[in-house]
Amino acid sequence: MTTHSDEHHIISYRKLTGIWLILLVLTALTVAITRIDLGGFKVAGALTIACIKAGLVIAFFMHMKYENRLLQILLFVAVVTLAIFIGFTFFDVLYR
């Protein structure tokens, strides 16, 4: 197919640095919440922050935000598949 455009989106240093700083803040936050007693939400909190960080890296550093829709869908399929694999396994563990 010839629908692929070879234009590369250039992300400014300003934006890249901004993302990097956000990632650093989130890392600090990950460490910080371990010091607060959240009970059962501790793991959920850590995983939420990790997901946001991974999302930022994929969207900006890996240019997924600027890729065409097809690539975004393909990545989405892969992530959903992984979520299902983990989810179904927990299905066993939770009800065992």
Q: Which residues bind another protein (CB under 8 A)?
A: 1, 4, 70, 77-78, 81-82, 84-85, 88-89, 91-96
DSSP summary character for residue 2 = -
Q: Which is nearer to another protein, 31 or 93 (CB)?
A: 93
Tokens for 45, please give them: 């909190």
Place of tokens 């065992």: 96
CB of 96 to another protein, least distance (A): 4
Q: Which is nearer to another protein, 6 or 37 (CB)?
A: 6
Backbone φ and ψ for 23, nearest 5 degrees, come out as -60, -40
CB of 61 to another protein, least distance (A): 21
Q: Which is nearer to another protein, 17 or 81 (CB)?
A: 81
Query: Within a 10 A sphere around the Cβ of 60, how many other Cβ atoms?
Result: 19
